[in-house]
Amino acid sequence: MAVTGILLVLFLIAHMLGNLKIFTGETAFDHYAHWLRGLGTPLLPETWFLWIQRTVLLAAVLGHIVAATVLAVRARAARPVRYAHRKAVRGSYAARTMRWGGVIILLFVIYHILDLTTGHLNPQGDSANPYGNVVADFAPERWYVTLFYTLAIVALGFHLRHGAFSAFRSLGQQTPGGERRARAAALVFAVVLCVGYLVVPFAVLTGLVA
């Protein structure tokens, strides 16, 4: 869980920083998107880097899901008779929504790829003009897209809050002081990533990016 999670988190950071390029204007953003396709040239043929990255990410996603499923199946098997009376989990909201939060994020990622990578669900869907795609996507009349996007990112934030701490712990974080720091770092990281991802649709919604 921890290792595949870290791979996905590294991608999330890069993806967020890339998104923020939208504030540098249409030409720069489209140029950035084009540059991504040519990343690694001339060492690699055009778009090869992207496909290698997609393969690694897909493997990480599948590994993450397999590990989560194993844990969920073991958890179910470990308690064949349920409690008649069970107090709500005292741990954090983030910890107890990991599984369903993960499912929401997966559904969102599928939608997101069909929307802004392949362009099938995008109102513009022009691969040469990603800036225009983003602006068309989060237009005020398509508020439900922004709403779904926001919900998914908040779910991601909760997932990261527990996930990041849990990754530290799984990889051997072992002191009480370190636990406090790891929890704080996970919270800050989750909030920064949430804000970084949400400024884009809200900038489009408010007309800051048009």
Partner 1 sequence: MNLTLRIWRQSGPQDKGRMVAYQVDDVSPDMSFLEMLDVLNERLILSGEEPVAFDHDCREGICGMCGLMINGEAHGPQRGTTACQLHMRQFSDGDTIDIEPWRARAFPVVKDLVVNRGAFDKIIAAGGYITAPTGSAPEAHATPVAKADADAAFEAAACIACGACVAACPNGSGMLFTAAKLTQLSLLPQGQPERYTRVIGMVDAHDEAGFGGCTNAGECTAVCPKGIPLNTIGRLNRDYLKATAKGAGTPGS
Q: How many CA atoms lie within 13 A of 159 on its CB side?
A: 26
The Cα angle at residue 13 between residues 54 and 97, in degrees rounded to 5: 90
Contacts of partner 1 in 121-160 (CB under 8 A): none
**CB atoms closer than 10 angstroms to residue 4:** 20
Residue 74 binds to partner 1 (criterion: CB under 8 A): yes
Residue 162 binds to partner 1 (criterion: CB under 8 A): yes
78 or 128, CB closer to partner 1? 78
Measured CA to CA, the distance from residue 115 to residue 120 in angstroms comes to 6
Residue 175 binds to partner 1 (criterion: CB under 8 A): yes
The Cα angle at residue 76 between residues 71 and 81, in degrees rounded to 5: 155
Six token digits for residue 197: 């991802």
**Could you give the string, one character per residue 81-110, with x where binding to partner 1 holds by CB under 8 A and - elsewhere?**
xxxxxxx-xxxx--xx-x------------
102 or 130, CB closer to partner 1? 102
**CB atoms closer than 10 angstroms to residue 39:** 15
Closest distance to partner 1 from the beta carbon of 180 (Å): 10
Residues that bind partner 1 (CB under 8 A): 70-71, 74-75, 77-87, 89-92, 95-96, 98, 162, 165-166, 169-176, 178-179
